């Protein structure tokens, strides 16, 4: 274990200050695809009269910052990071690592606590996308950014 706690946490949680993901075309593809999927889900699942929901600033702050940051640090930082250390966790199929797959299944299981079953299952594919960028960029920062933007799109659609 490194002596410097800051360096240790940066390594363990994948909090490396690398912004090279911003020049990674697949990042923008994931962002665009997320918006399209979000619009399709809301057009198909939520009737218009359900779209008007008032969310206070405390809720906005929680769902746009705290939840994505904490969830990504835990799932992509700690869990996926630890699974990636195992030889079997690094194995990939269609670009998805075993570590990412297991982490995404745990992410879905956690969402069953507060969400109806279909909505909990719906987080599986975004979770794979977050994990994909964790693997490719060796950082949780792209996953946090995408998670915040996906949550923003979701809650804007629900609130307005």
Residue 100 pLDDT: 96
pTM above 0.85, yes or no: no
**Contact call for residues 22 and 145 (beta carbons, < 8 A):** no
Residue 80 pLDDT: 95
Percentage of residues in the chain with pLDDT exceeding 90? 36
44 or 140: which leads in pLDDT:
140
Residues 6+ apart with CB under 8 A from 77: 12, 13, 14, 15, 140
> What mean pLDDT, rounded, does the chain reach?
81
Mean pLDDT of 6-12: 72
How far does CA 133 lie from the centroid of its chain? 9
Residue 24 to residue 48: CA distance in whole angstroms: 36
Residue 44 pLDDT: 60
Residue 29 to residue 81: CA distance in whole angstroms: 24
Residue 105 to residue 80: CA distance in whole angstroms: 11
Q: How confident is the model at residue 89 (pLDDT cuts 50, 70, 90)?
A: very high
Percentage of residues in the chain with pLDDT exceeding 70? 75
Residue 154 to residue 74: CA distance in whole angstroms: 22
Residue 64 pLDDT: 84
């Amino acid at each position: 274990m490194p002596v410097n706690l800051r360096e240790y946490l940066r390594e363990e949680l994948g909090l490396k200050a690398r912004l090279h993901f911003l020049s990674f075309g697949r990042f923008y593809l994931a962002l665009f695809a997320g918006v399209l999927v979000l619009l399709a889900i809301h057009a198909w699942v939520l009737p218009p009269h359900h779209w008007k929901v008032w969310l206070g600033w405390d809720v906005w702050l929680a769902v746009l910052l705290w939840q994505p940051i904490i969830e990504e640090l835990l799932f992509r930082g700690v869990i996926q990071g630890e699974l990636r250390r195992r030889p079997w966790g690094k194995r990939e199929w269609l670009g998805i690592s075993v570590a990412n797959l297991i982490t995404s299944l745990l992410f879905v299981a956690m969402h069953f606590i507060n969400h109806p079953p279909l909505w909990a299952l719906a987080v599986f594919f975004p979770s794979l996308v977050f994990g994909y960028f964790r693997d490719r960029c060796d950082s949780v920062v792209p996953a946090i950014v995408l998670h915040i933007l996906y949550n923003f799109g979701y809650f804007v659609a629900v609130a307005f």
